[in-house]
DNA sequence: CTCACACCCTGAAGCTACTATAGAGTCAAG
DNA sequence: CTTGACTCTATAGTAGCTTCAGGGTGTGAG
């Protein structure tokens, strides 16, 4: 099948497919006489795997590791389990950060209930005077 | 004061300060005879404002909007309130996404309890066969 | 046979919010 | 007069794509 069909089945754009190939996540397919990429079912399976990992917000680095493990039939899957645990840790950390953020934003929001001149707006005042504690280093790759 | 001092007080690097200036978030300061940037208290206040907004994960676009409102003394703060509400919406949306993600990851993690040959690993099998529902468009800029 | 049109190709630039590097200049203290 | 901390500009890199420019391929209609 050609790249458009592959992308449609795997729910991503052709540009994304080509990008994964350039990144080495997806192997280079055969080409037709007219230089079009020609994919088989094994490419589709691999692309699905990648998209599923991305849907779980894994990085390309994490995905690359998983693919390497899969490509080594003799290997055990301990590394996979560890990677997943770590990734769950990232998600937990980010959730905690966002909950705290939400609380701060809620407090700020309460400081202005109605439209007023900007000089009187409690939100803007809060944003000027807030003391943001030194932002800690990130424990997650999630934005 | 010079850029190093400004950065130290506002808890950011000098590169970040120069970047904000290039982005137009921070006005260009005067220069000394030796071409060093020379800041006053109004710059510090503005930089603090920006850093506080960033600590709340606002984008430069959102911050730019807030700064424009502040620079228009005649304006009302309705836009500010709306922007904050929207931003709180972003945070809520991202938290919901991550909670769902966490659940999916937890389920996946249960499918392999101990190290085994990769062919038998339930996690890898799950990642191959998962049907990721077409990822909905993002309602948030938060990663 | 020729045309239109959908699809495909490559390579480069753009996005966000910075961070890092190179190579040069400034300034105060010893 | 030299050392060392600081500053300057300009450029490239990060992640994971998306968009664009400028072309080539393939198929159905007239």
Give pLDDT tens digits for B33-73: 999 999 999 999 999 999 999 988 899 999 999 999 999 88
Strand D nucleotides within 7 Å of a protein CB: 6-9, 15-20, 24-26
**Chain A residues within an 8 Å CB radius of B107:** none
pLDDT surpasses 80 at B133 = no
Q: From B9, which residue of chain A is nearest by alpha-carbon distance?
A: A134
Higher pLDDT, A138 or B119: B119
Q: Give the mean model confidence (pLDDT) for residues A11-29.
A: 95
Which chain A residues are within 8 Å of B132, Cβ to Cβ?
A: 11, 51-52, 55
Question: Does B138 have pLDDT greater than 70?
Answer: no
CA of A123 to C1' of C24 (A): 44
- Does at least one atom of strand D sit less than 7 Å from the CB of A12? yes
Arithmetic mean of pLDDT, A101-123: 90
C-alpha B1/C-alpha B6 separation (Å) is 7
| This prediction's pTM | 0.85
Return the C-alpha torsion angle A30, A32, A37, A38, nearest 10.
Answer: -70
Distance (Å, rounded) from C-alpha B98 to C-alpha A140?
13
CB of A92 within 7 Å of some strand D atom: no
Closest CA to A135 of A101, A87, A99: A101
Judge if the beta carbon of A13 is closer than 7 A to nucleic acid strand D: yes
Average pLDDT, chain B: 90
Three-class SS state of A76: strand
Neighbours of B121 (CB within 10 A): 23
Under 8 Å CB-to-CB from A12, ≥6 apart: which residues?
A: A47, A51
User: How far apart, in Å, do the first and last CA atoms of chain B sit?
Assistant: 36
């Amino acid at each position: 099948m050609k790249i458009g069909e592959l992308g449609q089945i795997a729910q991503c754009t052709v540009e994304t497919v080509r990008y994964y190939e350039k990144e080495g996540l997806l192997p280079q397919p055969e080409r037709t006489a007219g230089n079009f990429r020609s994919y088989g079912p094994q490419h589709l399976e691999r692309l699905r795997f990648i998209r599923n990992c991305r849907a779980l917000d894994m990085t390309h680095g994490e995905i690359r590791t998983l693919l390497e493990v899969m490509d080594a039939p003799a290997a055990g899957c301990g590394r996979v389990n560890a990677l997943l645990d770590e990734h769950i840790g990232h998600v937990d950390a980010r959730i905690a950060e966002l909950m705290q953020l939400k609380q701060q934003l809620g407090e700020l929001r309460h400081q202005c209930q109605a439209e007023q001149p900007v000089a009187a707006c409690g939100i803007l005042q809060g944003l000027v005077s807030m003391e943001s504690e030194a932002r800690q280093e990130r424990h997650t790759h999630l934005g």
